Chain A
Amino acid sequence: MSEEILFDCLHAEIVNYCLDGNKEHDLATLEYIGFTTGYRLIERLTRESPRFKDELETMKFICTDFWTLIYKKQVDNLRTNNHGMYVVQDKAFRFLTRISPGTKQLEHAPKFVAFTCGLVRGALSNLGINSTVTAEVQSIPACKFHIEVNRN
């Protein structure tokens, strides 16, 4: 679809902007841009849906429906230990598919997953789940996102 390339370009530029040399910028900024986007987007997406029954149902929504809408494919695997830890595996993550697979490129991988960490955290946050989201890239373009629910 045509908007896809548009978003891919915008995402690449945001990554560039956030990590560009002279300013005090880092992955946290990138993550935060994702967070505010996710926070607002989920509000619009779930406006008409009934309240989610529990944490698991919310997670399922984020990791299946939401993910598919944004990343144009289903996640390849979703696991949970039933104690607030969820692992989402995507074997061809949208923002990594245009990068050559190689160990040298691997060090750049965090830039391309930070936005998504924020996006997921923001979406969950607006649905009342306080979480920590981290990503793990072992070989491009596969990626694992670890979502840890912070229960206090």
Chain B
Amino acid sequence: MSRQASRLDAKKVNSEFLTLTYGALVTQMLRDFENVEDVNKQLERIGYNMGMRLIEDFLARTSAPRCLELRETADRVQQAFRIYLNIQPTISNWSPSSDEFSLLFDSNPLTEFVELPPDLTNLRYSAILSGCIRGALEMVQLEVQCWFVQDQLKGDNVTELRVKFVRRLEEVIPAGED
């Protein structure tokens, strides 16, 4: 009964399960929305929501202390990719003022089985990743912008995700509470 199981690598199955489920979601969205931009927005939003939750897990798992500058934050983001997606992006292309950096991905598990048809070149298939980063960092009081500069799905050599620091968020007490 377990003869098949011994041959199946749980880690690989996990990652393929995630990839395929994500693919099914993107396909469903493309059916739901006529406009590809709307799909991009939805994917980003889903990533944002996930990021807000994942940061809790990340902090609990790593007991990471507070970051004092953006370079430390970049290292943490890199570490998070290693923990959750088992990939290690390279950090590079710092802006002179150290408020902007790029994450370079040689491979992206989300797009392992994906080819974009010619009419969907506007689709940001992995928009969930940029959303995740934005959501997670917002929970630690960092507002950032995050966008794709290059994408292997669109024929580039690497996938490049740019992260730009916008401002530090102050903790605000909700109205009506002292």
Interface residue stretch chosen among A10-18, A80-88, A104-112: A10-18
Q: Which residue of B lies closest to A3 (CB)?
A: B14
Size bracket, chain B contacts: 35 or more
A17 to B22, CA, bound (A): 12
Bits for A11-53, please: 1 = Cβ < 8 Å to B, else 0: 1011011100001010001001110110011001110110000
* Chain A residues with CB below 8 A from B32, complex form: 23, 25
List CB contacts (< 8 Å) of B107-145 with chain A: 113
Instruction: Tell which of A7, A13, A33, A69 touches B24, judged by Cβ atoms closer than 8 Å.
Output: A33
Q: How far is the CB of A91 from chain B (nearest CB, A)?
A: 21
- The listed residue (B46, B53, B57, B83) touching A17 by CB distance below 8 A is B46
- In chain B, positions 2-28 with a C-beta closer than 8 Å to chain A are 2, 4-5, 7-8, 10-11, 13-18, 20-25, 27-28
Across-interface contacts of B57 in A (CB, < 8 A)? 5
Q: What is the interface of chain A, defined by CB distance below 8 A to chain B?
A: 1-7, 9-11, 13-14, 16-18, 23, 25, 29, 32-34, 36-37, 40-41, 44-46, 48-49, 60-61, 64-65, 68-70
Closest to A7 in B: B18
Q: Which chain A residues border B20 with CB–CB below 8 Å?
A: 36-37, 40-41
Q: Is the CB of A10 within 8 A of B50?
A: yes
Give the shortest distance, in Å, between B7 (CB) and chain A (any CB): 6
- Are B16 and A14 in contact (CB-based, < 8 A)? no
Q: List 21 A-B contacts (CB under 8 A).
A: A1-B14, A3-B85, A6-B50, A7-B17, A10-B21, A10-B22, A11-B21, A13-B49, A13-B50, A18-B28, A33-B28, A34-B24, A37-B20, A37-B21, A40-B23, A41-B13, A41-B20, A44-B16, A48-B7, A64-B1, A65-B2
Residues of B within 8 A of A45 (CB): 4, 8, 13
B131 nearest CB across to chain A (Å): 10
Complex CA–CA separation, A119 to B27 (angstroms): 16
- List, in ascending order, chain B residues with CB within 8 A of A17's CB: 25, 29, 42, 46
Nearest CB in chain B: distance from A140 CB, A:
20
How many whole Å from A75's CB to the nearest CB in chain B? Answer: 13
Contacting B5 at CB < 8 Å: which of A5, A7, A37, A65?
A65
Closest chain-B Cβ to A77's Cβ sits at a distance in Å of 16
Q: A9-B50, A17-B42 are in contact. Are A65 and B4 (CB under 8 A)?
A: yes
Which residues of B are found within 8 Å of A64, using beta-carbon distances?
1-2, 5
Inter-chain contact A46/B25, CB cutoff 8 Å: no
Q: CB distance B4 to A7 under 8 Å?
A: no
Also in contact, A2 and B28, with CB within 8 A (given A48-B7, A61-B4): no
